[in-house]
Amino acid sequence: MRINDKVLLSDDEIGDNHISTSDITPLRKDAFDKSDEEKIAIIQEHVKEIMDTLGLDLTDDSLRGTPKRIAKSYVNELFCGLNPKNKPKASTFENKYNYEEMLVEKDITLYSTCEHHFLPIVGKAHVAYISNGNVIGISKINRIVEYYAKRPQVQERLTKQIVKELKKALNTDDVACVIDAKHLCVNSRGIKDVSSSTVTSEFGGKFKYDNTTKEEFLKYIQLDTSFNGI
């Protein structure tokens, strides 16, 4: 099938294959022409239709508010990372204390959504960088991870987007990210393998070309840094 000189695979050709087309989230040019309120209203009606098709009784008190709840959670929470207005400001500061070693922010809790089945992805992200004269607030790293996670995602793309954003913010290629996550599309459907997880990585600069730097980072993320009561 061809649309605007672009060859598209049919649904039958794609089947259950997981296809990632780019490290940029595929969005239409008119993606933000509608307000959040308009999107919620439209999604609500579609969810009603899905639930009705499934045979659910939408007059039941337990189900009556579900379409709106789902619509609001899609726009305001689960997929809020689609909208650039929600992008965190990655403020950086001069590295006045001359810290020259890598900084690692590990075990960042990650909640995302598989774009192939719209089922949860749950895991941890580990991020590191080596300053090139600038540093970034630690919480900003968590917020960048959250921003790119809060959209329909492919884990490979998410890993690359986090590294790309930090490279740009810090003006350095020396950035790395490893994500270890469980995909409910694997755990709860299909093969139903509840024990497996998916690990992806993206290495830039010294993390990519210097094995000692890469090994140091991988060693740090294996440390047991849990604290009782925290």
For the annotated catalytic residues, the residue numbers are 114-117, 155, 183, 185
Encoded tokens for 57: 């009784």
Phi, psi angle pair for 161, to nearest 5°: -65, -40
In which element (H, E) is residue 140 found?
helix 138-149
| Residues 162 and 181: beta-carbon distance below 8 Å | no
208 burial type by CB count under 10 A (0-12 exposed, 13-18 middle, 19+ buried)? middle
- Could you tell me which of 207, 216, 85, 55 has the C-alpha nearest to residue 150? 85
Cα–Cα distance measured from residue 43 to residue 70, given in angstroms and rounded to the nearest whole number: 8
Phi, psi angle pair for 45, to nearest 5°: -65, -40
